[in-house]
Structure 1
Amino acid sequence: MSQLSFPPLMSGHALTGQEDPFETACQRAILGCDAGLVTYNLGADLLRAALVFAPEVPLHKAMAMLPTCGIGLQNALGALAPPEVAVHLEWGGGLRINGGRCGRLRIAASSDDPDTIPDWLVVGLEMPLWPGRDDTGETPDQTALYAEGCADVQAPALVESWARHALHWINRWEQDGLAPLHAEWRGLAHGVGEETQLNGVSGTFLGVDEDFGMLLRDADTTRLIPLTTQLET
């Protein structure tokens, strides 16, 4: 696999076979790699990549990297895919293309203490390029990138563009605060105002608080579900 091109302060590490970029990025982060590492494994049917961060804020603030990377992906597809392709972001990291579920973002950190500044944080991306060979129509809500009119989007270019756009939004966050990030995310969020179920709790998804915690309204009260509940161990 040829090496991809990334902005200054970012570096790429290509993987092959069954190597998981998310797990590799976490392992590299534990060993003390520099922030800005991009691991990636571009298979024929599946795109996988991950970004390593070194937060300077407590975890409950640093979790904004999950929606930031989601916005970066939407912007990347906006630049590479046909204009009629619609990309939306689920609160917990799920990705939707033209309404169908199409991969996910995932997140891990060195600590799950929301008030601690983590040593590292990793956001991973998984996106199917083609439907699975065993797809029998039992999951009609699932789709794949190339099944949605994006066959001209090359996986290497998408990873490069994702990294660039994510970095752009990180810089905006550092310069202008959370307001632009919130405004952009609200325009892409899936399911706001609709009934949803999360962690066994059902209610109406009202939106998010300052730290992107989910506000879930049931018949009696409004619950706050912190974004840190989406951390993987």
Structure 2
Amino acid sequence: MSEAPQFPPLFEGLALTGKADPFAKARMQAIMGCDAGLVVYNLATDQLSAAIVFAPEVPLRDAMPVMIACGIGFQNALGALAPPEVAVHLGWTGQIYVNGAGCGRLRVAASETADSEVPDWIVLGLELPLIPADPDAPGSAPDQTCLYEEGCVDVTADALLSAWVRHTLVWVNRMEEEGMKPLGNEWRGLAHGVGEDVSWTMQGATEKGIFMGTDEVFGALLKQGNDTRLLPLTRLLDRGE
């Protein structure tokens, strides 16, 4: 049985059980006016699900890179707990890759959708499968994996969640104090699919092209023929529709 996760000061945990979705619960709590630092989580036997509520003090365009900070925080957390041969990379749209295969995702929602407006809140969610979706047919989807199939059976969900929040806090603080440069330097070494053809579906639309990297606030640069388009991180907002 997992123990209760331990969070840094000013963070407060809210445990859920059964099929309850921490992302939906955190968004509802944020709408109702909860304090920043709420961590809603569900440590099920088959999946780690969690969400953190943030209260930015900058316009949405400048606040959205908190998603990148949370991704790097997850990579650092799993890197500290997993065997050294386990490789973790991050997709721009929120996918998490462990040893090259998809293994969960990050999700993001905000109270505002206009780049120039300061949002009341941003909720960042994590979903990570621990065991195969079909235990009777492990490996049936070679492009997808789960944590325990990648040599991480000794990584407990509570320890990983605790580490994710701690490491995320480090990167959020660095982003606020030092700007985007340290975040960008770390992201470039972890980004999945740079220089490759991608097909991303977001907010009901599909974007295709060669992923050329990101701009200074982590908007994606997609090259299509002779044209290069910029997709802001706000395109990834979950509108709850």
Q: How far apart in 1 are the matches of 2:25 and 2:77?
A: 23
Q: How far apart in 1 are the matches of 2:78 and 2:117?
A: 34
Which residue is 1:117 aligned to? 118
Task: Give the SS at the match of 2:74.
Answer: helix
Q: TM-score, normalised by structure 1?
A: 0.97
Unaligned runs of 5+ in 1: none
1:20 aligned onto 2:26: no
* TM-superposition CA deviations, 1:150-196 (whole Å, max 9, x none): 00000000000000000000111111111000000110000001111
Q: How far apart in 2 are the matches of 1:187 and 1:223?
A: 22
Task: Give the SS at the match of 2:10.
Answer: coil
Which residue is 2:234 aligned to? 228
Superposed CA RMSD = 1.3
Mapping for residues 38-187 of structure 1, pairs under 5 Å: 38-133=39-134, 136=137, 138-187=140-189
Task: Give the SS at the match of 2:17.
Answer: coil
Q: How far apart in 2 are the matches of 1:218 and 1:112?
A: 26
1:217 aligned onto 2:223: yes
- The alpha carbon displacement at 1:232 in A equals 0.3
* TM-superposition CA deviations, 1:60-97 (whole Å, max 9, x none): 11110111100000000011000100000000100000
> Could you tell me whether the CA contact under 8 Å between 2:220 and 2:232 is conserved in 1?
yes
Query: Aligned residue pairs: how many?
Result: 233
Q: How far apart in 1 are the matches of 2:14 and 2:5?
A: 9
Q: How far apart in 2 are the matches of 1:96 and 1:190?
A: 8
Percent identity between the two aligned chains: 58
Q: How far apart in 1 are the matches of 2:74 and 2:62?
A: 20
Task: Give the SS at the match of 2:9.
Answer: coil
> Could you tell me whether the CA contact under 8 Å between 1:3 and 1:12 is conserved in 2?
no
Q: How far apart in 1 are the matches of 2:118 and 2:184?
A: 22
Which residue is 2:31 aligned to? 30
* TM-superposition CA deviations, 1:73-127 (whole Å, max 9, x none): 0000011000100000000100000000000000000011111100000000000
> Could you tell me whether the CA contact under 8 Å between 1:3 and 1:13 is conserved in 2?
no
Q: How far apart in 1 are the matches of 2:225 and 2:144?
A: 31
Quick check: 136-145 or 66-75, which moved more? 136-145
Q: How far apart in 1 are the matches of 2:143 and 2:47?
A: 18
Q: How far apart in 2 are the matches of 1:201 and 1:103?
A: 21
> Could you tell me whether the CA contact under 8 Å between 2:209 and 2:223 is conserved in 1?
yes
Q: Which of 186, 201, 212 is equivalent to 2:207?
A: 201
> Could you tell me whether the CA contact under 8 Å between 2:3 and 2:158 is conserved in 1?
no
Q: How far apart in 2 are the matches of 1:117 and 1:135?
A: 48
